[in-house]
Amino acid sequence: MENGRQVAVLGGGVIGLSTAVQLLRGGAEVLLVTEAEIGSGASGRSLSWLNAGGGYGEDYYRLRMAGIDRYRTLLARSPGIDWLAFDGGLYWDDDPFAVVDRHNAQSRAGYDARLLDRDDVPAYVPGVDPGVLPHRALVNPGEGWVSLPHLVRHLAEEFTLRGGTLIEHAGLCTLVAADGGGPVRGLRTAGGEEYAADAVVVACGAGTPAVLAGAGVELPDSSDLAMLVISEPVDHGLRAVLNTPRISLRPHPGGRLAMDHTWYLDRVQRLDDGTWSVDLEVLAELAAEASRVLAGHPEVVPQSWQPGLKPVPGDGEPVLGELAALPGCWAAFTHSGATLGLIAGELLADEILTGRRHPLLEPFRAERFAYGEES
C-alpha cells in the first residue's frame, strides 16, 4: 500500500539507511542525501560491538536489547552472512573488583553474565591466550558484533531495489523551513539544490548537532575521537569480542581483525585541512597487543585505519525522535549506532508513517534538555 509520504533522510550511515529502508517498506517515497559516500562517516570506524551490558538505565537497556533482537532476526533470515555473529564477549580489567561489580550489575538486570576462572575461559572463548588473563574474567555469551560497512551495503542494496533515490557528495546540507519559520519542509545541499519533503530525518552522526544548530536547535554534544584499525588476513581463531585494558578486538570478514581503544587518541591529530595525522607507532603497538592476547600469538599487521569523530550526545544517551522545536524534523544522534542501528530506523520510520509517538523513544527525545524546545 502506498503511504504517500515524501521523506528526506540526511545521512548515509547505518541509522540513516535503516530508517530509509523501513520508510520504503512502509510505502513512503524516500530521498537519501549524504555529505560524501554512504558509510563514509562514523559507521566506517565503529568496533560495532552488539551489547547491553554497560550498566545502562532501564529505558536504555530495554532499547539496546530490542536492538540486539533485530540483529538476531536479520541473522536468522540471512544465515550465510559473514559480517554478523553472536559468539559472545569477553571482558577483563586490571582491577578485579571492576570485573566482579560488572558481573553483579549485569546479573541483577537479567543479562547473561558468567564470571569464570582464567583456566575455564578458553572453553567459552576460543582464540584467547589464558596466560594473559587475570584470575577471573567475565563472559557474556549473548553478545555479538557486526561490520557496519557490510550492513550499510546490505541496506543500500534493498534501498535501491525498493526505488529509493540516493544523492551522494551533497556536501554540508541545511534544513529548509516553511516561509516565516515553522515546520521543516525539506533540505538544501551545499550546492544550493533544494528538495521538498513532508518529513526530514537528520542522522549525520557527529555532524547532527551542527545541522540542527543551523536551524536554531542546540543539542549538547560530547562527540569525541575514535579510530578503528583493520588488520590484514591472519589465522587468529577468535570468534568473540574482547574488551581488555589495552585493546578492544573482534573478528572481521575476510579473516581479519578489527581493533580499537582509547589510550592512543592523544597521538591522533586533526589537521587544519580536516584530514588526520596518526602516529604510526600506535598501529604497531595496537597490533602487538592483539598478538599478545591471542592464542598462538599470530603476527597481526595493520592494513587500514579510520580516525574520526564518534557521535556522543551531551548526556551520553541517544537523541531520537521528532524535535518539538522543528516539527517535521526527526533527529537520530547516538553513540550506540551499531547496537541501535536497526531498531532506531524501525522506530523512527514508524513515527513518521503513523504519526504516533513511539513509547520506546519517549525517554530519548531532545526535549529532555532544558533548551530542547527552543528555536
- Using pLDDT thresholds of 50, 70 and 90, give the confidence band for residue 180: low
Average pLDDT rounded to a whole number, residues 225-240: 97
Mean model confidence pLDDT for the chain: 95
- Using pLDDT thresholds of 50, 70 and 90, give the confidence band for residue 238: very high
Q: Tell me the per-residue pLDDT of 307-333, one tens digit each, with 9 for 90 and over.
A: 999 999 999 999 999 999 999 999 999
pLDDT at 187: 96
Three-state SS for the chain is CCCCCEEEEECCCHHHHHHHHHHHHCCCEEEEECCCCCCCCHHHCCCCEECCCCCCCHHHHHHHHHHHHHHHHHHHHCCCCCCEECCCEEECCCCHHHHHHHHHHHHHCCCCCEEEEHHHHHHHCCCECHHHCCCEEEEECCCEEECHHHHHHHHHHHHHHCCCEEECCCCCCEEEECCCCCCEEEEECCCCCEEECCEEEECCHHHHHHHHHCCCCCCCECCEEEEEEEECCCCCCCCCEEECCCCEEEEECCCEEEEECCCCHHHEEECCCCCEEECHHHHHHHHHHHHHHECCCCCCCEEEEEEEEECCECCCCCEEEEECCEEEEEEEECCCCCCCHHHHHHHHHHHHHHCCCCHHHHHHCHHHCCCCCCC
Give the position of cell 540483529: 71
Q: Tell me the per-residue pLDDT of 153-164, one tens digit each, with 9 for 90 and over.
A: 999 999 999 999
The yes-or-no verdict on residue 373 having pLDDT over 50 is no
The yes-or-no verdict on residue 204 having pLDDT over 60 is yes
The yes-or-no verdict on residue 351 having pLDDT over 60 is yes
- Using pLDDT thresholds of 50, 70 and 90, give the confidence band for residue 182: confident
Measured in degrees and rounded to the nearest 5, phi and psi for residue 263 equal -65, -20
Q: Where do the domains of the chain lie, and which CATH numbers do they carry?
A: 6-45+149-220+314-368 (3.50.50.60), 84-144+223-310 (3.30.9.10)
Q: Tell me the per-residue pLDDT of 65-114, one tens digit each, with 9 for 90 and over.
A: 999 999 999 999 999 999 999 999 999 999 999 999 999 999 999 999 99
Percent of the chain residues topping a pLDDT of 70:
97
> pTM of the predicted model, to two decimals?
0.96
Average pLDDT rounded to a whole number, residues 239-256: 98
pLDDT at 374: 42
pLDDT at 274: 87
Q: Tell me the per-residue pLDDT of 268-298, one tens digit each, with 9 for 90 and over.
A: 999 999 899 999 999 999 999 999 999 999 9
Which residues contact residue 47 at a Cβ distance below 8 angstroms, ignoring those fewer than 6 apart?
145, 228, 241, 248, 250, 258, 259, 260, 338
Average pLDDT rounded to a whole number, residues 140-150: 98
Closest CA to 192 of 176, 204, 205: 176
Average pLDDT rounded to a whole number, residues 247-267: 97
Give the position of cell 573482534: 250
pLDDT at 4: 79
pLDDT at 181: 65
Average pLDDT rounded to a whole number, residues 336-354: 97
pLDDT at 223: 96
pLDDT at 1: 39
The yes-or-no verdict on residue 230 having pLDDT over 90 is yes
